[in-house]
A and B are shown apart, each in its own frame.
Chain A
Amino acid sequence: MNRIITLILFVAVTTIYGFVGKGNQPKEFCQRERARATAKEQLKPFRFTGTKARSFYLKDFHQRKETVIELLFDVPYRVIFDRSGLPEGQDIDIMIYDKPYGKRNRTLIFKDDGGSDKIVFDTQEMEENYPRLFVEYLIYPYEGPELDASYARACITMSHGYMNKRLPTDDDL
């Protein structure tokens, strides 16, 4: 009798595990903590203020995401993008504009369509001051093996820091 109860329990547990357990968890490529740790070092001498992960599910079509960064006037910022949370074969272009997506006459301030894992952008490189930056991610269709998984998630991370003193410009030197 005990054996039958044990068998019933075994079947029930394996069945329930199969339905609600590992099988329904997304496959996660995002490496936010690692990106944050390396960015903290790379941001120096800027003061690290945070890391924002833009997560998305792998799809076989284009996706577009936007993140707005509010800036304080006359404060130099450094922004570090990290593509290491992407599976092989997933491409993302990073663009920074002065206005949101869809606005006319917006200015492209920065673009990176290369494959480097780490991209560093300093606001000191901008020709003009802007109160906010519109970071646009163009996520290309993914056609790798992970699409066959029930669902898989990746992310691009953006770490940022500021320096509370004006950095010297070419005019000062």
Chain B
Amino acid sequence: MNLLKQAIVFGIATTMFACGESPATQKAEKHDKTIEEVDVMPEIDEEEMDVVFPSAIEIMDVFKSAGLKYLDDVTNKLDRAKEYGSTFQKTIGVGVYTTDLAYSVLNNQNQRAIDYMDAVTSLSEDIGIVVVSADDNIAKRFEESLGNDEAVFDVMTEIQELTDDYLEVNDMGQEGALIFSGAWLEGMYIGVKANDDYSKSKVSQRVAEQMRILDNLLKVLKKDENQSPEAKEYLASLESLNSYYYSLDEVASNEYGFNLNLSVEQLKEIAGRIVELRNSLV
């Protein structure tokens, strides 16, 4: 019986000890804090920069309002998904297909939307992001909502949110940035390709304005110190595109980048670089 009592007392005592730090430890830490962490107004560490980028559906929705047409053959071919071998290719592929999905949804291409959703789901799982298949109900609701703008937007936003949460919980912020870069690039590509004359139309204007996003996107992408050679090459291409954009006098002298008065030649040059970069990726 004594043994039983001793064991219980020991168990409770060790549990209590472990739950809270000893007063001596607490005191020492508090003391250190007052020495090291003097109450001055703190700086912001750029490494901690947190950026909210527009979603793929938001970008495509705005393009559509600017008059973007629907072209059947402008999106990435579905069978290419099987050819993506590396994690980098698959991650970019998730972003590219997400934009293709948004473009199909916005243009009531329901079967295509379902096929792109399957491609996004499959590639996401390959890189360890299990969201849609974790809940059969979401895929079902997505299919049922097609044709109803508000309902389909709600389901797509929910998937986006679940994905964001998953990336955050699993410390996959860099993968999230790469996915967004693929989505952004595909959006720009469709904006260029489905706007046949590259003229100074509203779509061209939107493409030129959305180039501004690239600057912050690059800052986030560059945080990853362990990039694969493929990712490094991709970043160098994005850097080159960004440098070209900011080398234009009209861009450099326009503080916020609105109502840019770019020439048709400059718009064509931007468009050509986007097309080249996107095609080299997919």
Contacts and interface: CB of A to CB of B under 8 A. Distances in A.
Nearest to B16: A18
Contacts, number: 136
A101 B48 CA distance: 12
Contact of B52 (A15, A70, A128): A70
Contacts of A141: 39
Nearest to B41: A62
A64 B10 CA distance: 44
Interface in B1-58: 3-4, 7-8, 10-12, 14-21, 33, 37-44, 48-55, 58
A64 B43 contact: yes
B173 interface: no
Interface in A96-154: 98, 100-102, 128-132, 136, 141, 150
Contacts of B76: none
B212 interface: yes
Contacts of A67: 50-52
Nearest to A67: B50
A164 B65 contact: yes
B164 interface: yes
Interface in A44-73: 47-52, 54, 59-73
B107 interface: no
Interface string A66-106: 11111111010000000000000000000000101110000
B62 interface: yes
A70 B11 CA distance: 54
A11 B7 contact: yes
A87 B49 CA distance: 25
Looking at A52, A61, A102, the one whose CB has the most chain B CB atoms below 10 A away is A61
Contacts of A131: 209, 212, 256-258
Interface size class of B (residues with CB under 8 A): 35 or more
Query: What is the interface of chain B mostly: helix, strand, loop, or mixed?
Result: helix
B11 to A, nearest CB: 4
Nearest to B11: A14
B233 interface: no
B157 interface: yes
Contacts of A132: 212, 216
Contacts of B53: 70
A17 B12 CA distance: 11
A50 B55 contact: yes
Contact of B216 (A52, A65, A68, A128): A68
Interface of A: 3-4, 7-8, 10-11, 14-15, 17-19, 22-23, 36, 47-52, 54, 59-73, 75, 98, 100-102, 128-132, 136, 141, 150, 158, 160, 162, 164-165
Interface of B: 3-4, 7-8, 10-12, 14-21, 33, 37-44, 48-55, 58-59, 61-62, 65, 153, 157, 160-161, 164, 205-206, 209-210, 212-213, 216, 256-258
Given A11-B10, A52-B50, 9 more contacts: A3-B4, A7-B3, A18-B15, A49-B55, A65-B50, A73-B209, A102-B43, A131-B212, A160-B52
14 contacts: A4-B3, A11-B7, A14-B15, A49-B157, A60-B33, A62-B42, A64-B44, A65-B44, A66-B49, A70-B216, A72-B54, A75-B62, A162-B54, A162-B58
